[in-house]
Amino acid sequence: MLTQSIAAIPKVITDDPERFEELVREHQAMVFSMACRYLRNRALAEEIAQDVFLQLYRKLPSLESQDHVVHWLRWVTAHRLIDHSRHEKRRPQSPLEEAPEPAVPANSGDPLLSDMLRDLVAALPENARVVMILRYQEDLDPMDIAQALDMPIATVKSHLQRSLALLRDKLSRQKGVGL
Amino acid sequence: MNLEDELRAALRREDPSSGFAQRVVARTKVTPRSNRPIFRMAWAAAIAAMVIVGLAGVYQYRQVQAERAGRDAVIALRIAADKLNIARDKVSRREN
């Protein structure tokens, strides 16, 4: 099993390109999806995800376990995304609606509603956006999010409550959807 | 319909385009891993060597300066002693 084989000896992976590739494959969906949901731009998300994994490649010898790798990836991806959007704020941006987004196979829920929710989440302030992505993409509880982002748990809960209220409000105004 | 369930569905994970992992690995081959412990140790050793060489240079310079000051002091004392001898000879000649 891949997870078991690389869990114990992450230090060896950096000298073995094939095993590092396996490690990337194992975590690529997490890192890429965080970036994609945050940025709503697949090309940019892939670029940032690649940078995160390159950083992981350099950092890997000092990471001690598979859990450490996952925690580190979440932390670095989240901060990289926040830094990126703060940097981008200083430059003129194209409207959110113009961002390319692929057709995502709908395995549950309403695809139009899902698309609207992704837009609304992507329009949240930086910290709230990352908190929402970790909560609903990664299914982390508030305590884990607080640890992952080095943020007080009260702040995490406050972001979640405010963001959910904001989304409910916007959904009911835009589409008359009551959730 | 529950907002949290809808959010989980909307924000579920998805894979990047195919070949993503290979592209990352290809980039690792052109990116030097300067953070490897061996490189960090080499950098630390180089910096330590430079500091030691610098300190040795300063110490050497001060030693040379001190030796020169010592020699100058000895010469000054000898000159002063010679002048005192001359003065003492003149005084003793007058008394005689």
Q: Which of A17, A30, A32 sits opposite B25 (nearest CB)?
A: A17
**Which residue in the block uniquely carries the two structure tokens 């697949």?**
A42
Dihedral sign (CA A127, A128, A129, A135) = positive
Residue B21 counted as domain residue: no
Residues of B in contact with A59 (CB under 8 A): 35
**Which residue in the block uniquely carries the two structure tokens 């830094």?**
A83
Residue B30: the pLDDT is 80
Structure tokens at A65: 């376990």
The ipTM (two decimal places) reads 0.77
Residue B22 counted as domain residue: no
C-alpha angle B93/B95/B96, rounded to 5°? 65
Q: What is the pLDDT of residues B6-29, one digit of tens each?
A: 999 999 999 999 999 999 999 988
**A112 and A88 part of one domain:** no
Residue B5 counted as domain residue: no
> Does residue B18 sit at the A interface (CB-CB below 8 Å)?
no
Residue B20 counted as domain residue: no
Residue B32: the pLDDT is 61
Measured CA to CA, the distance from residue A56 to residue A79 in angstroms comes to 14
HSE of B28, CA atoms in CB hemisphere, 13 A: 28
- What is the residue range of A166's domain? 108-179
Q: What is the pLDDT of residues A3-18, one digit of tens each?
A: 444 555 455 566 678 8
Q: Do the Cβ atoms of A32 and B6 come within 8 Å?
A: no
> Does residue B24 sit at the A interface (CB-CB below 8 Å)?
yes
Tell me which chain B residue has its CA closest to the CA of residue A140. Answer: B8
**A84 and A19 part of one domain:** yes
CATH number of the domain residue A141 falls in: 1.10.10.10
- Number of domains present in the structure of chain B: 1
Residue of A56, A61, A35 lying closest to A47 (CA atoms): A35
Rg (CA), chain A: 17
- Number of domains present in the structure of chain A: 2
Measured CA to CA, the distance from residue B37 to residue A14 in angstroms comes to 12
Tell me which chain B residue has its CA closest to the CA of residue A166. Answer: B3
- What is the residue range of B46's domain? 36-95
Q: Do the Cβ atoms of A167 and B3 come within 8 Å?
A: yes
Mapping DSSP onto H, E and C, the string for A30-61 reads HHHHHHHHHHCCHHHHHHHHHHHHHHHHHHHH
Measured CA to CA, the distance from residue A155 to residue A131 in angstroms comes to 10
Tell me which chain A residue has its CA closest to the CA of residue B22. Answer: A21
Residue B4 counted as domain residue: no
pTM of the model: 0.67
**A88 and A118 part of one domain:** no
Residue A117 counted as domain residue: yes
CATH number of the domain residue A76 falls in: 1.10.1740.10
Give the DSSP per-residue string, B42-92. Answer: HHHHHHHHHHHHHHHHHHHHHHHHHHHHHHHHHHHHHHHHHHHHHHHHHHH
In sequence order, the 6+-apart residues with CB closer than 8 A to the CB of A162 are: A128
Residue B12 counted as domain residue: no
**A59 and A115 part of one domain:** no
Q: Do the Cβ atoms of B15 and A110 come within 8 Å?
A: no
From the CA of A3, how many Å to the nearest CA of chain B? 16
Q: Do the Cβ atoms of B6 and A110 come within 8 Å?
A: yes
Residues of A in contact with B22 (CB under 8 A): 21
Q: Which of B10, B16, B25 sits opposite A118 (nearest CB)?
A: B10
Residue A119 counted as domain residue: yes
Neighbours of B9 (CB within 10 A): 19
From the CA of A94, how many Å to the nearest CA of chain B? 22
B33 CB burial (10 A radius; 0-12, 13-18, 19+): middle
**A54 and A23 part of one domain:** yes
Where b means 16+ CB within 10 Å and e means fewer, B59-94 reads eeeeeeeeeeeeeeeeeeeeeeeeeeeeeeeeeeee
**A85 and A165 part of one domain:** no
**A78 and A121 part of one domain:** no
Q: What is the pLDDT of residues B18-75, one digit of tens each?
A: 999 999 999 988 866 655 667 788 899 999 999 999 999 999 999 999 999 999 999 9
